[in-house]
Homo-oligomer: A and B are copies of this chain.
Amino acid sequence: MPTKNTLTDFIQPTLTGPSARLVASLSMAIHENKLLPGTKLGEDELGDIFKVSRTVVRTALQELSHAELVELKRNRGAFVSQPTVREAREVFEARALLEPRTARSAAERMTEEAAARLEAHIAAEHAAIEAGEAGKALRLSGHFHIEISRIADQTTIAGFIERLVARSSLIIALYWKRQSALCEKHAHHALVDALRRGDGADAEELMKSHLLDILTALDLREVVQPPIDLKDILRPAP
């Protein structure tokens, strides 16, 4: 089953044990835009749901806060992150800096097995869209980028890209234009083609324009700035 996406696909195994399950579930929910930015994640609440103590909930939330999927506010709790317009731009600038070059490296290190995996991945994306599972499709399309970075065999950079893709899910949840359709199928197909041909220059170009496409499908006018909690600003310095 090459396309089976288990819960652990989105987390680096820095922590094993009970908290990993929590991290994975929450991660997945956020990637699929089921948990929307701003949602409060209460410790007792999560503990009840997952039948674990607050200790492990806390561990999981801390983990997620380092992935910048969750924001911890002292004495106030954990909330699904709400990237600002500025942060959204930064994330895509960083992706534009890292991913095209990484795609080029991937093209040079491509194997038949990797190509097959990517194609299976695209098929899964397609299937999710057909089935009307938009959230799952979104998550898979992000994961496609992660797979490419893994082929490039640069763990460190792949880790950065993973973080950026994760935040991109939140950004899309907040700023995606209603009218623009998520039609990444062609872009992803073209990328796999270039990779399979070992054409690094082409892959680099394709990735660059693909990222630009995503960015232009976002509505990053300052107007839609997510709500700001005045208490965060007016609070006296600690």
* A residues whose Cβ falls under 8 Å from a Cβ of B: 14-17, 59, 62-63, 65-66, 72, 74, 87, 90-91, 93-94, 97-98, 101, 154-157, 160, 164, 238
Contacts and interface: CB of A to CB of B under 8 A. Distances in A.
9 contacts: A16-B238, A59-B62, A63-B66, A66-B66, A87-B156, A91-B156, A93-B157, A97-B98, A160-B160
B238 A154 contact: no
A6 to B, nearest CB: 14
B154 A14 contact: no
Nearest to A83: B156
A216 to B, nearest CB: 19
Contacts of A164: 156
A149 B234 CA distance: 28
A160 B63 CA distance: 17
Number of copies of this chain in the oligomer?
A: 2
Contacts of A62: 15, 59, 62-63
Contacts of A63: 62, 66
A100 to B, nearest CB: 11
Nearest to A91: B156
The 9 closest A-B pairs by CB, nearest first: A66-B66, A90-B156, A94-B156, A94-B157, A16-B74, A160-B160, A62-B62, A90-B154, A91-B156
Contacts of A74: 15-17
A97 to B, nearest CB: 6
A62 B62 CA distance: 8
Contacts of A97: 97-98, 101, 157
Contacts of A93: 154, 156-157
A72 B20 CA distance: 14
Contacts of A238: 16
Given A87-B156, A93-B156, A94-B154, 7 more contacts: A16-B238, A63-B66, A66-B66, A90-B155, A93-B154, A97-B97, A156-B164
Contacts of A91: 156
A33 B160 CA distance: 25
Contacts of A14: 65-66, 72
